[in-house]
Structure 1
Amino acid sequence: MSAPDGPTGLRLTVVGCSGSYPGPDSAASCYLLEAPDGHGGTTRVVLDLGSGAIGPLQRHVDPRALDAVLLSHLHADHCLDLMGLYVLQRHHPDGPSGRRVPVWGPTGTAARLARGYDLTEPDAMSAELDVREWQPGRTVDVGALRVTPFAVRHPVEAYAVRVVWTDPAGGDHVLVYSGDTDTCDGLDAAATGADLLLCEAAFVDGRDEVRGIHLTGRRAGEVAARAGVARLLLTHVPAWNDPGAAAVEAGEVFGGPTVTAAPGQVHHV
């Protein structure tokens, strides 16, 4: 495919943003990042590939051509549609693509994906997917992007992901994805100085009092304010929530531009 239309640079397309399960208007978590690679091509990765996302993703890119899938954690609403990518890789009538799609994720990602397709060997998808495990704080290069995972606060091993693209004309462009998390030092460190913070806000102040699972809109706004981010993009809002409530909460504590994610949105970083 050709390079992204519009301004050159790091571009985020919201593929799916529904929290915890696909909603009537959105797949679960999936975000396409595209950036020029400096050689006339484009680096394309997705942040998460949650339930329902493989369908709308195909409107934007051939999933078999992705440079990587970057998983925040292994809950179904963030990784389950890797089953579909496996099927595309293995059974497409054009034959195998000739390359394994790299997948970065938490400890045990390969075995988790194999169980999802009822395969008995933990490396059963290794011919189709090149699965690698995050090391907290260790940066990996994916084409034109530098990607660093930060351990965050969730009931399972989970990461915020900091993505940096360096403009050949000068300057870094930084996008940070919170994954699923409550307030924690790892999220603050990941988000520091980000141009765009893509931050979950699944909980609602006054309704969801349990801690250690998700952020409210207010807590997401507090993270953005502490970290000095330029823009806040709220996501992972379940279909049972008022979609605008999180932005109202965030706006009470964060003075920068705040938007609630919706499928098909494009944000230039």
Structure 2
Amino acid sequence: MTIWTTIFLLLGGVAGGLLSSIASMASLASYPVLLAVGIPPVFANVTNDAALIWTSIGSTVSSTKELKGHWEQVWFYTIFTVVGSIIGCMLLLSFPSSVFEKAVPFFIAFSGIMIIVSGKHHSLNTKKQPTWLKIIYFIALLIMGAYTGYFGAAGGVIVLVLLTYITNERFIVINAIKNVICGFANLVALIIFIFTSHIYWLQAIPLAIGMFIGGYIGPAILRRVPEKPIRIFIATLAFVQAGYFFYKAYLH
């Protein structure tokens, strides 16, 4: 691997880390970078997952202020996403992801709409929510964990939406919690894929370094930008990714 390829992967990782920690859209940058250096699509997805964990580490280190006093919530939500991720990985090993490809564009587009709509409910007092509604939200977290392990595209956006309804915290706090619990879901998926697939570790290392840097910078940017523009930015990226997957599924 040449020095230019290493730099290319490093910069792609920084971009992916920023997009992941801010908008849960790392794959818009990191996945194409891995394809560009010659890694086959299936293995690029797994290798991307190996590097993506470092985004969560970087953003967690950078978000200690936002996470202070919220770790009990983090561990509780993590249980659902981790169990879901295990289920998703098992499904992926049994059924090819192509089974789900035609539904993914609409799923991602819906997530883009919801990230805007959920902003209007940001001040919701969760103590007044009926128990059955909370149960539905937690089941949805479990399903999103499975989706992360099975396919993953824009999964973090839906987790962000769910946390907006489950909690009444500030957006930057919700995003910090999202980064942690999605990181654990990705970690579980990686552990499973280490034994069931092939990871291009040589390419994953510079990508991971870049993702750590991008993940660390992301929360600092969020502290300085109003919530509404961030939500619009996330929704826009979701629509772009939905268009890409629609093209792949129906027009390619």
> What range is the shorter-chain TM-score in?
under 0.3
Higher helix fraction (1 or 2): 2
Q: TM-score, normalized by length of structure 1?
A: 0.24
Q: Kindly indicate which of the two structures has a greater share of residues assigned to strand.
A: 1
